[in-house]
Amino acid sequence: MTVVDRSTAPFMNDPASPATPVAAAIRYLSIIAGCACLLLAAICIVLACRVFIETGVFAQSYASVGLISGVLGLLALKLARVWR
Q: Report the pLDDT value the prediction gives residue 28, as an integer from 0 to 100.
A: 94
Residues 6 or more apart whose Cβ sits within 8 Å of residue 26: 83
Residue extents of the structural domains in the chain: 20-82
Q: Residue 9 carries which DSSP code?
A: -
Element (H, E) at 13: helix 10-13
Q: Residue 37 carries which DSSP code?
A: H
The model scores a pTM over 0.75: no
Q: Report the pLDDT value the prediction gives residue 71, as an integer from 0 to 100.
A: 96
Element (H, E) at 54: helix 21-55
Average pLDDT, the chain: 85
User: Which of 54 and 11 is assigned the larger pLDDT?
Assistant: 54
Q: Report the pLDDT value the prediction gives residue 6, as an integer from 0 to 100.
A: 55
| pLDDT, tens digit, 9 for 90 and up, residues 11-43 | 455 555 566 888 889 999 999 999 999 999 999
Q: Report the pLDDT value the prediction gives residue 17, as an integer from 0 to 100.
A: 59
Distance separating alpha carbons of residues 46 and 50, to the nearest angstrom: 6
Distance separating alpha carbons of residues 49 and 57, to the nearest angstrom: 10
